Amino acid sequence: MPVKVKLGNLHCSVTEDSDYDTAYLTWDGIEIWRMRMEEGWDRDVGWEKSISRDARVELWDYDTIDQDDNLGGETIRPSLVGLGTQRARFTADEADYVLEFQVVPDWENLDNRPETADIVADGDRLYQRHKSGAIYQRVGSSWENRDNRRETADIVADAGRLFQRHKSGAIYQYIGGDDWRPLPGGNFPGTKQIATSDGRLYQRHDSGAIYQYTGDEIGPWENLDNFPKTVDIVADGDRLYQRHSTGAIYELVRSTPHTWRPLDNRPETADIVADAGRLYQRHHNGAIYEYTGSGWRNLDNNRAVVEIATGDGLLYKRHFNGLIFGYTGSTWLLRDDNNKTAKVETSGGHLYQMHDTGAIYRERPV
């Protein structure tokens, strides 16, 4: 499978010549970089290439008198190399150089529309919402229009079901073709958010009230809470969480009557995400925590973190400069480093990113 190789820092410990080397790198026999190198020097190569077959990088010292001196090489095999930072050492002719390089997944471009405002993934399905309110679904290698309403403010999807929320608070469910079904009772001007998971649909009002859709024509929405500090809801299977403006986090306990169990109360909490029974929170300072059932386990403390996303039991983070990392259970591996990345979305084993230009990309399997 294709990967992207990013050549980074070249460090010289010992030159091949007595004073300095005119070092250059070749990629499959073609020169890609040249620089004077002295002992103790570091130089950034800053070159990258997507590969799906073996490739060879070699280091040479230019010789003005006879043949150039080969200082060694490294064969990079996509089928064997792991993701993350790698090192190649070149020690021929008593020289000693180390080249650092990153191996990250390759990304497939799916669309390039500046109108794109949001993307939503559901299993193998991918949707995009435009600033105009238009909704499109990825079908094969193209995009099919699903709706064109300027009132559309938000879309959510799960388990093959797609919903949209209008600025008026109206909620619609997609039923196929060009048809959308208005949900009874789902037309409250105070509705600011909808969330769905495991066949359940919820709405949050600007008053903090939370409702679940029952499907009944009479009283189709069941009230779950009325707390004015609620600013976000997150659904995961039959679980529902709410986050308060104070940073407090609560989980719904389904009973008669319903109650809410407190999970945390930190003013630093900026966001929560949940999937596959796992709940995570991100703090304003970039720290990431996972709920263990009895407390919170710290996973990261990087001030650059501005977003976390989860799906299929996997966790990703995005830095303010566009870097995307995936959590392995013990460390974070770089997945991409495009500074235009504005959102990360994952579902169905796929990882997507949306750029601030509206471009949409999908990570190629590694």
CATH value at residue 131: 2.130.10.30
- For residues 356 and 281, membership in a common domain is answered with yes
Domain assignment present for residue 250? The answer is: no
Please indicate, yes or no, whether residues 77 and 120 belong to a single structural domain of this protein. no
For residue range 346-362, what is the model confidence (pLDDT) as tens digits?
999 999 999 999 999 99
Across 100-108, average pLDDT? 93
Confirm if 319 and 305 have CB atoms less than 8 A apart. yes
Q: Which domain does 165 fall in, by range?
A: 157-243
Residue 173 has pLDDT above 70, yes or no: yes
At residue 185 the predicted structure's pLDDT band, cuts being 50, 70 and 90, is confident
Measured CA to CA, the distance from residue 6 to residue 210 in angstroms comes to 47
Last residue of a domain, one of 178, 210, 243: 243
Q: What is the pLDDT of residues 44-72, one digit of tens each?
A: 999 999 998 999 999 999 988 779 999 99
- Token duo for residue 47: 């070159």
- Would residue 141 count as lying in a domain? yes
Is pLDDT above 90 for 1?
no
Q: Give, as one character, the DSSP assignment of residue 333.
A: E
Rg value, the chain, Cα: 26
pLDDT of residue 365: 80
pLDDT over 80 at 262, yes or no: yes
User: Which of 257-266, 316-325, 330-339 bottoms out in mean pLDDT, i.e. has the lowest?
Assistant: 330-339
Please indicate, yes or no, whether residues 143 and 228 belong to a single structural domain of this protein: no
Number of domains within the chain = 3
Give the SS3 label for residue 92.
Answer: helix
259 in any annotated domain: no
Looking at the predicted structure, is the pLDDT value of residue 96 above 80? Answer: yes
Q: Which of 65-69, 216-220, 250-254, 274-278 has the lowest mean pLDDT?
A: 216-220
Distance CA 136, CA 128 (A): 5
Is the distance from CB of 304 to CB of 295 less than 8 angstroms? no
pTM of the predicted protein model:
0.87
- Domain of 76, CATH number, reads 2.60.40.150
> Average of pLDDT values for 81-107?
92
Q: Is residue 257 part of a domain?
A: no
> Over 90: is that where the pLDDT of 216 sits?
no
Does residue 275 form part of some domain? yes
For range 107-124, the mean pLDDT: 97
- For the cut 80, the answer to whether the pLDDT of residue 280 exceeds it is yes
Residue 187: pLDDT band with limits 50, 70, 90: confident
What one-letter code names the amino acid at 251? Answer: E
Q: What is the pLDDT of residue 320?
A: 98
39 and 181 in a single domain? The answer is no
Q: Are residues 164 and 138 in the same domain?
A: no
Give yes or no for residue 120 having a pLDDT over 90: yes
Task: Between 115 and 65, name the one with better pLDDT.
Answer: 115
Q: What is the pLDDT of residue 35?
A: 97
Are both 337 and 316 inside the same structural domain?
Answer: yes
Contact 247, 269 (CB under 8 A): yes
Residues 99 and 125 in one domain: no
Residue 126 lies in a domain: yes
Asked if pLDDT for residue 2 goes beyond 90, the answer is: no
360 and 300 in a common domain: yes
Confidence at 309, pLDDT banded by 50, 70, 90: very high
Contact 62, 30 (CB under 8 A): no
Asked if the model's pLDDT at residue 232 lies above 90, the reply is: yes
My answer on whether 196 and 210 are in the same domain is: yes
Question: What's residue 366's pLDDT?
Answer: 67
For residues 145 and 162, membership in a common domain is answered with: no
